[in-house]
Amino acid sequence: MIDLKTEKPLSLAQAARGVPPTRQDKPVHVSTLTRWILRGVHGVRLEAARLGGRWVTSEEAICRFSAALTDLQDTPAGALAPDTRRAHIARRRPRAAEGGA
């Protein structure tokens, strides 16, 4: 979860505008960020918080998300056993106990 005391919250629309365009120079859609929050990509989820019934994230959270995905890409395929990979991913996920829900 993002730290609302030290990180400036961004609406998903604001955050989407800050993410580089995807294929064919199309902007990233808000639903893509929602999917990154709820489902993640390769076991890595975008950190976010619910604020007033809406999701918010931060520039720092997007940087951490990108770094975690890059770390996974830098690991050669098959280099990690499944249990080791799960542990690797779990270390990168924010712990529910640290920030609440």
Per-residue confidence in pLDDT tens, the chain, 101 aa: 899 999 999 999 999 999 999 888 999 999 999 999 999 998 999 999 999 999 999 999 999 999 999 988 766 655 666 666 677 677 776 655 555 54
Are 48 and 93 within 8 A, CB to CB? no
The residue behind tokens 């604020």 is: 51
Instruction: Give a yes or no: residue 26 inside a domain.
Output: yes
At what angle are helices 59-74 and 82-92 packed, to 10 degrees?
Answer: 160
Instruction: Give a yes or no: residue 61 inside a domain.
Output: yes
Tally of helices (H runs) and strands (E runs) in the chain: 5, 3
Q: Whole-model pTM?
A: 0.71
In the chain, the number of structural domains is 1
For residue 19, the enclosing domain spans 10-94
Q: How far apart are CA 66 and CA 31, in angstroms?
A: 17
